[in-house]
Amino acid sequence: MPFLSEIPCMVTKSPLFSAVLANTMLSTVPGISGAGQSPEKTLLTPVLDAELISRGSISSMPVKPNTPTGCPTPASITRSMMELTGLHPLFINAGLVHPPTVPCMDVYGEPGGDPRFTDAVPGAEELFRRGSAIGIFLGRVSDLLVLGECVPGGTTTAMCVLRGLGYRARVSSSYADNPVRMKEEVWEMVSRRLDADPKTGPLDVVRVCGDPMIALSAGIFSTYPGALILAGGTQMLAVAAVAKGLGLPVPGIVTTCYVRDDASANFAGLAGEIGAEAYYVDPGFGDLGHSGLARYCIGEVKEGMGAGGAMFLAALLGHSPEAIRQKIFEFVRFYD
Protein backbone atom coordinates (compact mmCIF):
# COMPACT_ATOMS: atom_id res chain seq x y z
CA MET A 1 0.00 0.00 0.00
CA PRO A 2 1.24 3.55 -0.70
CA PHE A 3 1.95 5.93 2.19
CA LEU A 4 -1.42 7.64 1.69
CA SER A 5 -4.39 5.63 0.48
CA GLU A 6 -5.46 8.63 -1.55
CA ILE A 7 -4.01 12.08 -2.18
CA PRO A 8 -6.67 14.48 -0.95
CA CYS A 9 -7.53 17.46 -3.05
CA MET A 10 -6.61 20.11 -0.50
CA VAL A 11 -4.58 23.28 -0.77
CA THR A 12 -3.68 25.05 2.45
CA LYS A 13 -1.96 28.29 3.28
CA SER A 14 -2.49 28.17 7.04
CA PRO A 15 -2.89 24.61 8.34
CA LEU A 16 -3.47 23.91 12.03
CA PHE A 17 -2.99 20.71 13.96
CA SER A 18 -5.10 20.50 17.07
CA ALA A 19 -6.11 17.77 19.52
CA VAL A 20 -8.99 17.56 21.97
CA LEU A 21 -8.11 16.13 25.39
CA ALA A 22 -10.57 14.54 27.78
CA ASN A 23 -11.03 11.86 30.38
CA THR A 24 -13.77 9.32 30.84
CA MET A 25 -13.91 7.56 34.19
CA LEU A 26 -14.29 4.32 32.23
CA SER A 27 -10.52 4.32 31.71
CA THR A 28 -10.03 3.63 35.43
CA VAL A 29 -11.85 0.30 35.12
CA PRO A 30 -9.03 -2.26 35.05
CA GLY A 31 -8.57 -3.78 31.61
CA ILE A 32 -10.54 -1.24 29.55
CA SER A 33 -7.67 1.00 28.44
CA GLY A 34 -4.04 0.25 27.64
CA ALA A 35 -3.16 3.95 27.53
CA GLY A 36 -1.25 4.21 30.79
CA GLN A 37 0.92 2.31 33.27
CA SER A 38 -2.10 1.58 35.49
CA PRO A 39 -5.86 2.21 35.32
CA GLU A 40 -5.53 5.30 37.53
CA LYS A 41 -2.60 6.61 35.50
CA THR A 42 -4.60 6.52 32.25
CA LEU A 43 -6.17 9.73 33.58
CA LEU A 44 -2.79 11.45 33.25
CA THR A 45 -2.05 10.30 29.71
CA PRO A 46 -3.56 13.28 27.86
CA VAL A 47 -1.54 15.67 30.04
CA LEU A 48 1.74 13.82 29.49
CA ASP A 49 1.08 13.42 25.77
CA ALA A 50 0.35 17.12 25.35
CA GLU A 51 3.53 17.96 27.27
CA LEU A 52 5.59 15.70 25.02
CA ILE A 53 4.12 17.13 21.84
CA SER A 54 4.43 20.76 22.96
CA ARG A 55 7.88 20.61 24.53
CA GLY A 56 9.56 17.61 22.95
CA SER A 57 10.02 15.83 26.27
CA ILE A 58 8.21 15.06 29.50
CA SER A 59 9.74 16.79 32.51
CA SER A 60 6.78 16.99 34.92
CA MET A 61 7.06 13.28 35.75
CA PRO A 62 9.84 10.70 35.48
CA VAL A 63 8.32 8.71 32.62
CA LYS A 64 9.32 7.74 29.11
CA PRO A 65 6.86 8.27 26.23
CA ASN A 66 6.48 4.51 25.82
CA THR A 67 3.49 2.27 26.47
CA PRO A 68 3.52 -0.31 29.30
CA THR A 69 4.70 -2.87 26.74
CA GLY A 70 7.49 -0.64 25.45
CA CYS A 71 5.98 0.71 22.24
CA PRO A 72 6.54 4.39 21.44
CA THR A 73 3.32 6.27 22.21
CA PRO A 74 1.40 7.75 19.31
CA ALA A 75 2.20 11.14 20.86
CA SER A 76 5.84 10.49 19.92
CA ILE A 77 4.78 10.18 16.29
CA THR A 78 2.76 13.38 16.51
CA ARG A 79 5.69 15.22 18.12
CA SER A 80 8.00 14.02 15.35
CA MET A 81 5.64 15.43 12.76
CA MET A 82 5.43 18.80 14.53
CA GLU A 83 9.24 18.96 14.44
CA LEU A 84 9.35 17.95 10.78
CA THR A 85 6.71 20.45 9.65
CA GLY A 86 7.47 23.25 12.09
CA LEU A 87 3.79 23.41 13.04
CA HIS A 88 2.81 24.41 16.57
CA PRO A 89 -0.08 22.30 17.92
CA LEU A 90 -3.10 23.63 19.77
CA PHE A 91 -4.49 21.48 22.56
CA ILE A 92 -8.08 21.83 23.65
CA ASN A 93 -9.11 20.73 27.15
CA ALA A 94 -12.64 19.35 26.99
CA GLY A 95 -12.64 17.93 30.53
CA LEU A 96 -9.63 16.48 32.37
CA VAL A 97 -9.07 15.22 35.90
CA HIS A 98 -5.52 16.62 36.10
CA PRO A 99 -4.53 20.15 35.03
CA PRO A 100 -2.38 20.28 31.90
CA THR A 101 1.27 21.32 32.17
CA VAL A 102 1.19 23.27 28.90
CA PRO A 103 -1.21 25.99 27.72
CA CYS A 104 -4.48 24.67 26.31
CA MET A 105 -7.63 26.17 24.95
CA ASP A 106 -10.05 25.32 27.72
CA VAL A 107 -13.83 25.12 27.73
CA TYR A 108 -14.10 24.49 31.47
CA GLY A 109 -15.80 21.15 31.07
CA GLU A 110 -15.81 18.16 33.43
CA PRO A 111 -14.26 14.72 32.92
CA GLY A 112 -16.76 12.23 31.54
CA GLY A 113 -18.59 10.07 34.08
CA ASP A 114 -18.93 6.28 33.95
CA PRO A 115 -21.83 5.73 31.53
CA ARG A 116 -22.80 2.47 33.21
CA PHE A 117 -24.11 4.34 36.23
CA THR A 118 -24.63 8.00 35.39
CA ASP A 119 -25.05 10.49 32.57
CA ALA A 120 -21.52 10.59 31.24
CA VAL A 121 -21.59 14.16 29.84
CA PRO A 122 -24.37 16.17 31.52
CA GLY A 123 -23.10 19.32 29.79
CA ALA A 124 -23.03 17.85 26.26
CA GLU A 125 -25.19 20.64 24.78
CA GLU A 126 -23.09 23.37 26.40
CA LEU A 127 -19.85 21.65 25.31
CA PHE A 128 -21.15 21.56 21.75
CA ARG A 129 -21.94 25.27 22.03
CA ARG A 130 -18.49 26.12 23.37
CA GLY A 131 -16.98 24.00 20.62
CA SER A 132 -18.87 26.04 18.06
CA ALA A 133 -17.31 29.22 19.49
CA ILE A 134 -13.87 27.63 19.13
CA GLY A 135 -14.67 26.56 15.57
CA ILE A 136 -15.39 30.16 14.64
CA PHE A 137 -12.15 31.37 16.22
CA LEU A 138 -10.06 28.66 14.56
CA GLY A 139 -11.66 29.52 11.23
CA ARG A 140 -10.21 33.03 11.57
CA VAL A 141 -6.68 31.76 12.01
CA SER A 142 -6.47 28.70 9.75
CA ASP A 143 -7.86 27.25 6.53
CA LEU A 144 -7.26 23.56 7.26
CA LEU A 145 -7.82 21.94 10.64
CA VAL A 146 -6.55 18.45 11.41
CA LEU A 147 -8.34 17.57 14.64
CA GLY A 148 -7.07 14.70 16.76
CA GLU A 149 -8.01 13.45 20.21
CA CYS A 150 -6.63 11.84 23.34
CA VAL A 151 -9.24 10.13 25.50
CA PRO A 152 -8.06 6.98 27.29
CA GLY A 153 -11.00 4.58 27.42
CA GLY A 154 -12.57 6.54 24.59
CA THR A 155 -13.05 3.63 22.18
CA THR A 156 -15.63 2.24 24.60
CA THR A 157 -17.59 5.50 24.89
CA ALA A 158 -17.34 5.84 21.11
CA MET A 159 -18.79 2.34 20.69
CA CYS A 160 -21.68 3.22 22.98
CA VAL A 161 -22.41 6.46 21.10
CA LEU A 162 -22.21 4.76 17.69
CA ARG A 163 -24.53 1.99 18.82
CA GLY A 164 -26.81 4.48 20.53
CA LEU A 165 -27.08 6.21 17.15
CA GLY A 166 -28.03 2.93 15.49
CA TYR A 167 -24.74 1.72 14.01
CA ARG A 168 -23.65 -1.85 14.53
CA ALA A 169 -20.27 -0.69 15.68
CA ARG A 170 -17.30 -2.73 16.74
CA VAL A 171 -14.47 -0.48 17.84
CA SER A 172 -10.70 -0.69 17.96
CA SER A 173 -8.42 -0.68 21.01
CA SER A 174 -4.91 0.32 22.03
CA TYR A 175 -4.48 -3.27 23.21
CA ALA A 176 -3.32 -5.86 20.68
CA ASP A 177 -5.89 -8.11 22.34
CA ASN A 178 -9.03 -5.93 22.23
CA PRO A 179 -10.99 -6.40 25.51
CA VAL A 180 -14.16 -6.94 23.54
CA ARG A 181 -16.00 -8.81 26.28
CA MET A 182 -15.52 -5.97 28.78
CA LYS A 183 -16.75 -3.45 26.22
CA GLU A 184 -19.83 -5.56 25.57
CA GLU A 185 -20.52 -5.67 29.30
CA VAL A 186 -20.35 -1.89 29.43
CA TRP A 187 -22.66 -1.68 26.42
CA GLU A 188 -25.19 -4.01 28.04
CA MET A 189 -25.56 -1.68 31.01
CA VAL A 190 -25.44 1.46 28.84
CA SER A 191 -28.09 0.21 26.43
CA ARG A 192 -30.51 -0.23 29.32
CA ARG A 193 -29.82 3.34 30.42
CA LEU A 194 -30.29 4.58 26.85
CA ASP A 195 -33.60 2.74 26.57
CA ALA A 196 -34.81 4.37 29.77
CA ASP A 197 -33.72 7.88 28.76
CA PRO A 198 -36.21 10.20 27.06
CA LYS A 199 -33.54 11.19 24.57
CA THR A 200 -34.40 13.23 21.54
CA GLY A 201 -31.19 13.76 19.58
CA PRO A 202 -27.56 12.79 19.02
CA LEU A 203 -26.29 15.07 21.79
CA ASP A 204 -28.57 13.23 24.21
CA VAL A 205 -26.83 10.01 23.28
CA VAL A 206 -23.50 11.71 24.01
CA ARG A 207 -24.91 12.99 27.30
CA VAL A 208 -25.93 9.49 28.38
CA CYS A 209 -22.89 7.49 27.28
CA GLY A 210 -20.26 9.54 25.43
CA ASP A 211 -17.28 11.56 26.52
CA PRO A 212 -16.54 15.32 26.47
CA MET A 213 -14.31 15.06 23.39
CA ILE A 214 -17.17 13.83 21.21
CA ALA A 215 -19.50 16.72 22.10
CA LEU A 216 -16.80 19.38 21.81
CA SER A 217 -15.33 18.11 18.53
CA ALA A 218 -18.78 17.98 16.93
CA GLY A 219 -19.28 21.59 18.02
CA ILE A 220 -15.97 22.69 16.52
CA PHE A 221 -16.87 20.97 13.24
CA SER A 222 -20.30 22.61 13.21
CA THR A 223 -18.87 26.10 12.66
CA TYR A 224 -15.35 25.67 11.27
CA PRO A 225 -15.48 27.31 7.84
CA GLY A 226 -12.38 25.76 6.28
CA ALA A 227 -11.49 22.14 5.56
CA LEU A 228 -11.65 20.02 8.71
CA ILE A 229 -10.42 16.47 8.85
CA LEU A 230 -10.86 14.32 11.94
CA ALA A 231 -7.68 12.50 12.91
CA GLY A 232 -8.27 9.27 14.73
CA GLY A 233 -9.80 5.83 14.62
CA THR A 234 -13.17 4.62 15.77
CA GLN A 235 -13.38 7.41 18.35
CA MET A 236 -13.51 9.98 15.59
CA LEU A 237 -16.18 7.96 13.77
CA ALA A 238 -18.41 8.73 16.76
CA VAL A 239 -17.85 12.45 16.14
CA ALA A 240 -18.67 12.03 12.46
CA ALA A 241 -21.81 10.08 13.36
CA VAL A 242 -22.97 12.80 15.76
CA ALA A 243 -22.40 15.44 13.07
CA LYS A 244 -24.43 13.40 10.61
CA GLY A 245 -27.17 12.86 13.20
CA LEU A 246 -27.38 16.61 13.70
CA GLY A 247 -27.94 17.13 9.99
CA LEU A 248 -24.48 18.58 9.38
CA PRO A 249 -22.25 17.58 6.48
CA VAL A 250 -20.07 14.59 7.37
CA PRO A 251 -16.40 15.36 8.03
CA GLY A 252 -13.58 13.37 6.45
CA ILE A 253 -11.41 11.23 8.67
CA VAL A 254 -7.81 10.07 8.55
CA THR A 255 -6.32 7.21 10.50
CA THR A 256 -3.58 4.61 10.28
CA CYS A 257 -3.72 1.36 8.33
CA TYR A 258 -3.36 -0.36 11.72
CA VAL A 259 -6.85 0.78 12.71
CA ARG A 260 -8.26 -0.11 9.30
CA ASP A 261 -6.72 -3.59 9.53
CA ASP A 262 -8.03 -4.27 13.05
CA ALA A 263 -10.30 -7.27 12.55
CA SER A 264 -11.88 -6.77 15.99
CA ALA A 265 -13.34 -3.49 14.71
CA ASN A 266 -15.10 -2.47 11.50
CA PHE A 267 -13.66 0.96 10.79
CA ALA A 268 -13.99 1.03 7.00
CA GLY A 269 -17.51 -0.39 7.01
CA LEU A 270 -18.64 2.10 9.63
CA ALA A 271 -17.03 5.02 7.83
CA GLY A 272 -18.92 4.00 4.72
CA GLU A 273 -22.21 3.68 6.57
CA ILE A 274 -21.76 7.11 8.14
CA GLY A 275 -20.63 8.55 4.82
CA ALA A 276 -17.28 9.79 6.12
CA GLU A 277 -14.55 9.87 3.50
CA ALA A 278 -11.67 7.90 5.00
CA TYR A 279 -7.96 8.32 4.36
CA TYR A 280 -5.41 5.79 5.56
CA VAL A 281 -1.74 6.33 6.31
CA ASP A 282 0.64 3.38 6.08
CA PRO A 283 3.94 4.45 7.62
CA GLY A 284 5.43 0.99 7.13
CA PHE A 285 6.57 0.63 10.73
CA GLY A 286 7.30 -3.06 10.08
CA ASP A 287 10.54 -2.43 8.22
CA LEU A 288 11.93 0.59 10.07
CA GLY A 289 14.17 -1.56 12.24
CA HIS A 290 12.48 -0.55 15.50
CA SER A 291 10.88 -3.35 17.49
CA GLY A 292 8.46 -1.07 19.37
CA LEU A 293 7.14 0.56 16.19
CA ALA A 294 6.97 -2.84 14.50
CA ARG A 295 4.49 -3.95 17.13
CA TYR A 296 2.03 -1.39 15.71
CA CYS A 297 1.81 -3.85 12.77
CA ILE A 298 0.66 -6.68 15.02
CA GLY A 299 -2.04 -4.45 16.47
CA GLU A 300 -0.56 -2.68 19.47
CA VAL A 301 -1.41 1.01 20.00
CA LYS A 302 -2.39 1.56 16.33
CA GLU A 303 -3.30 5.25 16.59
CA GLY A 304 -3.86 8.09 19.04
CA MET A 305 -3.22 11.82 19.59
CA GLY A 306 -3.94 12.38 15.92
CA ALA A 307 -0.78 10.49 14.93
CA GLY A 308 -2.28 9.35 11.64
CA GLY A 309 -3.49 12.86 10.91
CA ALA A 310 -0.12 14.37 11.80
CA MET A 311 1.63 12.08 9.29
CA PHE A 312 -1.09 12.85 6.73
CA LEU A 313 -0.57 16.58 7.25
CA ALA A 314 3.20 16.25 6.89
CA ALA A 315 2.69 14.45 3.57
CA LEU A 316 0.21 17.09 2.45
CA LEU A 317 2.81 19.75 3.19
CA GLY A 318 5.25 18.06 0.87
CA HIS A 319 7.36 15.85 3.12
CA SER A 320 8.26 12.53 1.55
CA PRO A 321 7.29 9.19 3.10
CA GLU A 322 10.99 8.52 3.63
CA ALA A 323 11.54 11.82 5.47
CA ILE A 324 8.49 11.13 7.63
CA ARG A 325 9.58 7.61 8.50
CA GLN A 326 13.14 8.70 9.17
CA LYS A 327 12.04 11.52 11.48
CA ILE A 328 9.83 9.20 13.53
CA PHE A 329 12.60 6.61 13.78
CA GLU A 330 15.10 9.19 15.00
CA PHE A 331 12.73 10.58 17.59
CA VAL A 332 11.61 7.29 19.14
CA ARG A 333 15.12 5.79 19.09
CA PHE A 334 16.10 8.38 21.67
CA TYR A 335 13.76 6.78 24.23
CA ASP A 336 14.75 3.13 23.73
Residues near a copy of itself (CB under 8 A) are 14, 16, 54, 87-88, 90, 93, 99-108, 130, 133-134, 136-137, 140-142
Shortest Å, Cβ 166 to a copy of itself? 31
Shortest Å, Cβ 126 to a copy of itself? 9
Cβ distance to a copy of itself smaller for residue 94 or 209:
94
Shortest Å, Cβ 68 to a copy of itself? 27
Q: Are 237 and 250 in contact (CB under 8 A)?
A: no
Shortest Å, Cβ 55 to a copy of itself? 8
CA distances from 27 to 21, 33, 109 (A): 14, 5, 18
For residue 313, count other CB atoms closer than 10 A to its CB: 28
Shortest Å, Cβ 17 to a copy of itself? 10
CA distances from 292 to 1, 178, 232 (A): 21, 18, 20
Dist CA 191 CA 183 (whole Å):
12
Cβ distance to a copy of itself smaller for residue 53 or 243:
53
Q: Which residues contact 7 (CB under 8 A, 6 or more apart)?
A: none
Q: Are 20 and 147 in contact (CB under 8 A)?
A: yes
Give the number of C-alpha atoms closer than 13 A to the C-alpha of residue 118, restricted to the C-beta side: 12
Cβ distance to a copy of itself smaller for residue 127 or 186:
127
Q: Are 308 and 231 in contact (CB under 8 A)?
A: yes
Shortest Å, Cβ 279 to a copy of itself? 24
Q: Are 306 and 77 in contact (CB under 8 A)?
A: no
